[in-house]
Structure 1
Amino acid sequence: MNYQFVRDQQGKPIAQFDMGSEIFSHWFAEELGDDQSKISSILEAIEQLQSKEIKEFVLEGNDINLSLDPYEVEVRSKILDVDAPIELPEGTELYDQESISGCGLEDFSNVLNSWQEFVAGK
């Protein structure tokens, strides 16, 4: 998972992830931001998942939900949860690459720790 963190002209933290993981960019910048208590609670949930104290952790956001299990992380736009027509016209495919993505729990933990340091100005 390739990423970088930058600040916009107003000093707001921005996450930039590679194509295929764009939803992580939005989740970090818009849903998580610099909320240290939210970051800490997610890191605590990761520890609980790794020690098998819990089986899953879900954080509902305004536009994007985060789901963790002991092995994987998924960020998913709430737009995907809107009921789609039962039958799509032949040849029609839904484009969801910018609306859902995942990674391993350990990779996510490393990125989240880096984000925490970045937004704290360390």
Structure 2
Amino acid sequence: MEYDFLRNTITGTAFARFSMDHEALGFWLSEELGDNAAKHVEICQTIERLQSSQLTDWRMIGKALSIELDHEQVRVFANNIEDNEDNDGTELDESMSFYDGESEAFCGLEDFYAVLVNWREFLDE
């Protein structure tokens, strides 16, 4: 999983750009977490509780994206994520599939914790 943290040269707004299949993580960091220090602390403390087995799982519902954590992995997903059916209820042909890298992403809990630390450091620069 590769990523960059950048700033808009005009507005100064920070945003995260992640590699293919992990784009939803970048959207979540940029749009849902942003520079909210209290939310950042809450999530880091939650990860520590998951790692010490004080907690089994955790979920935060966002405006557009939500996040689920357990003791091994993190899932970021669009709140309106749909299954692989079209609007009339028929299933897609097997040769067709949706690209959902912008709607859903997974990563390991330790990797996610490192991303959060790096994001906060970037914001504090």
TM-score for both structures, normalised by structure 1: 0.90
Segment drifting more, 37-46 vs 74-83: 74-83
Say how many residue pairs are matched.
Answer: 121
The Cα shift of 1:83 comes to 9.7
Cα distance between partner residues in 2 of 1:6 and 1:89: 38
The Cα shift of 1:4 comes to 1.0
Structure 1 portions without partners, runs of 5+? none
Structure 2 portions without partners, runs of 5+? none
Percent identity of the aligned residues? Answer: 35
Asked if 1:4 is matched to 2:16, the reply is no
The equivalent residue for 1:37 is 38
* 1:5 aligned partner, one-letter code: F
Cα distance between partner residues in 1 of 2:35 and 2:11: 14
Q: Contact (CA 8 Å) 1:73, 1:104: kept in 2 or not?
A: yes
TM-score for both structures, normalised by structure 2: 0.88
Q: Contact (CA 8 Å) 1:34, 1:120: kept in 2 or not?
A: no
Please provide the CA RMSD for this pair: 1.7
* 1:34 aligned partner, one-letter code: D
The Cα shift of 1:27 comes to 0.5
